[in-house]
Amino acid sequence: MAITKQELRDIVDELEQYKGRATELVTVYIPAGQNIYTVADQLEAEKSTAKNIKSTGTRKNVGNALDKITRQLKEHKKTPENGLALFSGNVSRVEGQEDLRLWEIEPPMALKTRMYRCDKEFILEPLKEMLEVTEVYGLLVMDRKEATIGLLEGKGISVIQKMTSGIPSKVRAGGQSSQRFHRITEGLTKEFYKRIAEEMKKNFFDLPKLKGIIIGGPIPTKDEFVEGDYLPTKLREKVLGKIDIGDSSESGLKELMDKSQSLLVNHERIQEVKEVEKFFQSLGENPKKTALGEEKTRKALEFGAVDTLYLSTNLEKPLVRELTKLAEGIDAKVTVISTETTEGEQFLNMSGIGAILRFEI
């Protein structure tokens, strides 16, 4: 069963901690579509090669790690859909003692790397690449008074720049004529738009992972900005949509995301929000088929009643692993919820553990 990105991140963090005394930690990557029996045969052959290692301790540790991996491969009839990563070795921190461990991972995305390596540390780069954000979105909320430029990267929104226009209020100073006051404010507005465009160019123009830009603000401000000759053509072509909102501060960026679901229907942040909303809806409309909190959720898992298990990323890792293992034992779906959204924070405050059930218990 393929693990989630968050679970992969936790495993990578764990594996990075281990260091061998020699080149005795074994890494095996089997790409998606590779014949698992061919790999198993190759590793059996490597056992013979390992017998030529001069150091008795290293020879023993490499041989034991290879034995553990080849035995594990025999449990599979074919390579999992996304491929397989296996790590094994003596990770004891006390010299002379043995702590032979094995990690088997079906990653969240198709593995393309084929590798067998013995080294002083586990080779983790192919898995780390999966954790990198592959696409980002530029965000802008604006009116004639202020603007906030942000970035949607993964599930997190970060603020890049806050700007104010300095345009005076509608009350005319010093008895200025209406026409003159209008000319002044219009000139200042255009200068403000140019400053916004310059900041966006500076931050987004050469951003290789930029997938699109979403702009929010009142009518007609955002439309004047997008349709005017302010943004470079390259960035203007990246604008996915213009959303009507009235908040041009940092909180407006979150409102912009909430109202952009149709533009980012497959984005992981939007998908996560939908998952949490699904849980909250079930809790409100069908509480007898919804569990909230560790005690009720654990009981539902033991009865085999869980359809989808929900776990916050802020829970203790041993607890997450334990509940996940119980869920996998009954073929329940596991959904990990971050705290990078308002909904995710709310879920954590409600215990961070819940489930939608297959039947009442």
Q: Which CATH number does the domain housing residue 337 bear?
A: 3.30.1330.30
pLDDT at 346 over 60: yes
Residue of 133, 181, 134, 147 lying closest to 340 (CA atoms): 133
**Residues 114 and 167 both lie in one domain:** no
**Residues 352 and 281 both lie in one domain:** yes
Q: Which CATH number does the domain housing residue 167 bear?
A: 3.30.420.60
Give the angle 281-312-140 at the CA atoms, nearest 5°: 80
pLDDT at 43 over 60: yes
Residue finishing a domain among 116, 131, 146: 131
**Residues 181 and 254 both lie in one domain:** yes
pLDDT in tens, 223-248: 999 999 899 999 999 999 999 999 99
Average pLDDT, the chain: 93
**Residues 33 and 151 both lie in one domain:** no
- Alpha carbons 90 and 24: distance in angstroms, whole number: 8
**Residues 174 and 250 both lie in one domain:** yes
Q: Which CATH number does the domain housing residue 44 bear?
A: 3.30.960.10
Residue 265 pLDDT level (bands cut at 50, 70, 90): confident
Q: Which residue has the higher pLDDT, 104 or 261?
A: 104
Question: What is the model's pLDDT at position 169?
Answer: 67
The percent of residues in the chain predicted with pLDDT above 70, rounded, is 98
pLDDT in tens, 70-104: 999 999 999 999 999 999 999 998 887 899 999 99
- Alpha carbons 138 and 251: distance in angstroms, whole number: 15
Element (H, E) at 165: none
Length of the chain, in residues = 361
Residue of 150, 253, 252 lying closest to 196 (CA atoms): 150
Phi, psi (5° rounding) for residue 301?
-65, -45
Residue finishing a domain among 79, 102, 131: 131
Question: CB-hemisphere CA count at 13 Å for 271?
Answer: 7
**Residues 259 and 284 both lie in one domain:** no
Which two structure tokens, joined as six digits, stand for 237?
């072509």
The percent of residues in the chain predicted with pLDDT above 90, rounded, is 80
pLDDT at 46 over 60: yes
Residue finishing a domain among 211, 240, 264: 264
**Residues 177 and 101 both lie in one domain:** no
Q: How many domains, the chain?
A: 3
- Alpha carbons 332 and 302: distance in angstroms, whole number: 12
Which two structure tokens, joined as six digits, stand for 222?
């955002």
**Residues 140 and 259 both lie in one domain:** yes
Range of the domain at 232: 136-264
